[in-house]
Structure 1
Amino acid sequence: MIHNLAAGVQAFTSNAFLVDGERTVLVDAGANFDVVSRVEERVDDVDALVLTHTHPDHVGNLPDVVEAFGVDVWGFDPEADGVDHAIADEGTVTLGDDEYVALHTPGHKDDHLCFYSAGAGVLFAGDLIFPNGSFGRTDLEEGDRGTLIESIERVESRVSGDLGELHVGHGPSVSRNAYSHVELASEAARHTP
């Protein structure tokens, strides 16, 4: 089961997804809200914190999660503040009951990862892809439009057309025609001036 713990929060934050199952994992910590109490409303413990990337809105609550649950933090760049272990491009991680492949997808930020499970039909897209043809911004440090387009195209080619769920860094998740939103983002990124 996947729960967005930031749902309804009126603060500058990313989504923070609790994936419970055999290995209960938090995907991104969010910022500026009490994520620990929201975790504790659903589960007793968390096994790991996995990051799509290290922008402040995704990691602001990281210290609170680490302190409350004693978890290790996994991300692409172990040199980044708070990241304990590296997840390599094409590495696999268990989120809940399913295996996900990590796809290094820079362009929004150099350490950006997406997580895709073909078996579960789920993509965690971070700030790379958003619903309805939206895509990650590239006007921040480490942002690069050409690299972002390449990353979106990589995800588009890797993800199955019958994708069941698209979970994004901000805003609502998509559970109907999820792959079409990946296609729309790819098209828009290539053609938006």
Structure 2
Amino acid sequence: MSGLRIPLEGPDGAGTEHALNLLAPNPSPMTLDGTNTWVIGRGEEVLVVDPGPDDAGHLARVAGHLGGRRVAAILLTHGHHDHSGGARAFAELVGAPVRALDPRHRLGDEGLDDGDVLRAGDLELHVVGTPGHSFDSLCFWLPEDGAVLTGDTVLGRGTTVIAPDGHLAEYLRSLDRLRAAVERVGARALLPGHGPVLPDPVGALDGYIAHRRQRLDQIRRAYAAGAVTPRRIVETVYAEVDRSLWPAAEMSVRAQLEYLGLG
């Protein structure tokens, strides 16, 4: 059985027996502590998930951590810049292909799709399609450790926005699919793209699903009461949220209004 490695301060170094997080230095209200770059594997071959932004120091640190181990592939949970911006430079640094669902972010002949199985030595990593946050969002199931790498589909703190290239109906289906899957396989950890490891996958996903349903109910009520623009809804429904996050909240509100047929 694999144990979690949860540090006392911050997510850097956290993970599971065969998944290590190296935190990118891009903290912000949207990225929390920064982007989590995950190194997956044991022995002489690894997979690297989400090299993060195009930050030379971070990419060199990840490459240095490898200690000469071969990178079988660089994988992207999705194409947003804070996850993919450094992929090309890192690929050149370590001599590995970049695999992604969106062809625009690939370097090499192979992409990624739901149901694919990747290998680093004798470890397997299974691709799970989870569109919603973005159209190309993927999660990765690491059965050896009972862990799911969730990208931005589930964060270590707070909730995920629905980006302009995402879709709320797909996101809700993805959450339901993940919830059923983690219970079925007995997953023991979620390894997010931002924030700390979540050691209760079922509880985390139940919380995400309940929160989304609650927000939809709040928006229905706010709209009926006369708040008919995204900004007015944010002022009413997201009043407790830091104002620096209101533009992101407006993105989610637009997605929710479309989902409710009110947009």
Tell me whether 29-38 or 109-118 shows the greater mean CA deviation.
29-38
State the Cα deviation string for residues 117-170 of structure 1 (Å, max 9, x = none).
3342010011011246x44211x2212112111111111111236322211111
- Tell me the residue number matched to 2:178: 155
SS at match of 1:142: coil
- Tell me the residue number matched to 1:118: 143
Runs of 4+ in 1 over 4 A off after TM superposition: 10-13
Is there any run of 5+ residues in structure 2 with no aligned partner, and where? Answer: 1-17, 29-33, 217-263
Q: In 2 relative to 1, CA 190–63 (structure 1 residues): closer, same or farther, beyond 3 Å? A: same
Aligned length: 188
- Tell me the residue number matched to 1:127: 152
The 1-side partners of 2:19 and 2:178 are apart by: 21
Q: In 2 relative to 1, CA 58–109 (structure 1 residues): closer, same or farther, beyond 3 Å? A: same
Cα root mean square deviation, aligned: 2.2
- Tell me the residue number matched to 2:23: 6
Match of 1:28 among 37, 50, 56: 50
The 2-side partners of 1:120 and 1:106 are apart by: 24
Please state how far the C-alpha of 1:100 moved relative to its aligned partner: 2.4
Establish whether residue 136 from structure 1 lines up as the match of residue 160 from structure 2. Answer: yes
- Map residues 35-114 of structure 1 onto 2, 5 A cutoff: 35-43=58-66, 44-45=68-69, 46-77=71-102, 79-84=103-108, 85-95=110-120, 97-114=122-139
TM-score under structure 1 normalisation? Answer: 0.86
- Tell me the residue number matched to 2:205: 182
State the Cα deviation string for residues 34-88 of structure 1 (Å, max 9, x = none).
23322233222422101100111101111221111110011112x2134432122
TM-score under structure 2 normalisation? Answer: 0.65
Match of 1:17 among 25, 31, 38: 38
Amino acid at match of 1:185: Y
The 1-side partners of 2:41 and 2:197 are apart by: 17
The 1-side partners of 2:204 and 2:104 are apart by: 30
Task: Verify the 8 A CA contact 2:63 2:94 in the aligned structure 1.
Answer: no
Amino acid at match of 2:23: A
The 2-side partners of 1:143 and 1:153 are apart by: 16
The 2-side partners of 1:157 and 1:178 are apart by: 10
**Whose helix fraction is larger, Structure 1's or Structure 2's?**
2
Task: Verify the 8 A CA contact 2:97 2:106 in the aligned structure 1.
Answer: no
The 2-side partners of 1:62 and 1:183 are apart by: 33
State the Cα deviation string for residues 5-46 of structure 1 (Å, max 9, x = none).
116x24465211111314311100111532332223322242
Q: In 2 relative to 1, CA 73–37 (structure 1 residues): closer, same or farther, beyond 3 Å? A: same
Task: Verify the 8 A CA contact 1:35 1:65 in the aligned structure 2.
Answer: no
The 2-side partners of 1:125 and 1:83 are apart by: 22
